[in-house]
């Protein structure tokens, strides 16, 4: 009897572990995934080596918003972290370091620190969307993304507009290093 009880207990532990691993795998595959910031293209908002949580379900129930920080599959077989600047149908331009969306100036408070540092030169060079993606507006089912470190970012100015089906998800939580735990926007 004792041997049978021990065998049942072991089997229960195995089942519990299998269920736990299955749930963990499902959460990682379908809901949330960790990602590490690689490079300086999102400074000062994100630092090289920051570890973040990517919400993979956010855009299945909602739509991207301007200034969301997203992770997407880039053309060079890497995943990039960038900020959405333009949504489908938007006309985007920069002039004198000011973002214009559909002809209206839009504030980018997350760039204030860098703009103060680089007071002599613009952080973002002047351009109109047509010069970068050969379209006057962001195409349907695409977004236009930029890194916050505009001088050191490979983004839509170089790779073109990002198709919505390439977006992995939105990220707002830095969880590592622990001392830098924070929500970003």
Judge whether residue 123 has pLDDT over 80: no
Question: What does the alpha-carbon distance between residue 47 and residue 160 come to, in Å, rounded to a whole number?
Answer: 24
Judge whether residue 100 has pLDDT over 90: yes
Report the pLDDT averaged over residues 148-155.
86
Higher pLDDT, 161 or 121: 161
Question: What does the alpha-carbon distance between residue 31 and residue 60 come to, in Å, rounded to a whole number?
Answer: 11
Note the pLDDT of residue 142.
Answer: 94
- The string over 145-165, giving b where at least 16 C-beta atoms fall within 10 Å of a residue's C-beta and e elsewhere, is bbbbbbeebebbbebbbbeee
**pTM exceeds 0.75:** yes
Where does the pLDDT of residue 88 fall: very low under 50, low under 70, confident under 90, or very high at 90 and above? Answer: very high
Report the pLDDT averaged over residues 31-39.
73
- Active site (catalytic) residues: 41, 82
Higher pLDDT, 144 or 55: 144
- Ranges of each domain in the chain: 33-183
Report whether 119 contacts 137 (CB < 8 A): no
Question: What does the alpha-carbon distance between residue 49 and residue 39 come to, in Å, rounded to a whole number?
Answer: 8
Fold annotation for 33-183: Umud Fragment, subunit A (2.10.109)
Where does the pLDDT of residue 1 fall: very low under 50, low under 70, confident under 90, or very high at 90 and above? Answer: low
Residue 181, C-beta contacts closer than 8 angstroms, at least 6 positions apart = 173, 174, 175
Judge whether residue 105 has pLDDT over 80: yes
Where does the pLDDT of residue 84 fall: very low under 50, low under 70, confident under 90, or very high at 90 and above? Answer: very high
Where does the pLDDT of residue 13 fall: very low under 50, low under 70, confident under 90, or very high at 90 and above? Answer: confident
Higher pLDDT, 79 or 120: 79
């Amino acid at each position: 009897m004792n041997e049978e009880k021990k065998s049942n207990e072991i089997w229960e532990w195995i089942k519990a572990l299998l269920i736990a691993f299955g749930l963990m795998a499902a959460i990682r595959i379908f809901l949330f995934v960790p990602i590490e910031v690689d490079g300086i293209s999102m400074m000062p908002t994100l630092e090289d080596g920051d570890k973040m949580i990517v919400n993979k379900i956010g855009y299945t129930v909602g739509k991207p918003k301007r200034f969301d920080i997203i992770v997407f599959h880039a053309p060079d077989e890497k995943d990039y972290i960038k900020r959405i600047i333009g949504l489908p149908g938007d006309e985007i331009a920069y002039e004198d370091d000011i973002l214009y969306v559909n002809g209206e100036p839009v504030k980018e408070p997350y760039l204030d620190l860098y703009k103060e540092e680089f007071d002599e030169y613009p952080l973002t060079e002047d351009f109109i969307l047509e010069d970068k993606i050969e379209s006057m507006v962001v195409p349907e089912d695409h977004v236009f993304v930029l890194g916050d470190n505009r001088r050191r970012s490979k983004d839509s100015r170089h790779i073109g507009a990002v198709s919505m089906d390439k977006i992995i998800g939105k990220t707002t939580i830095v969880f590592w290093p622990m001392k830098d735990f924070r929500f970003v926007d």
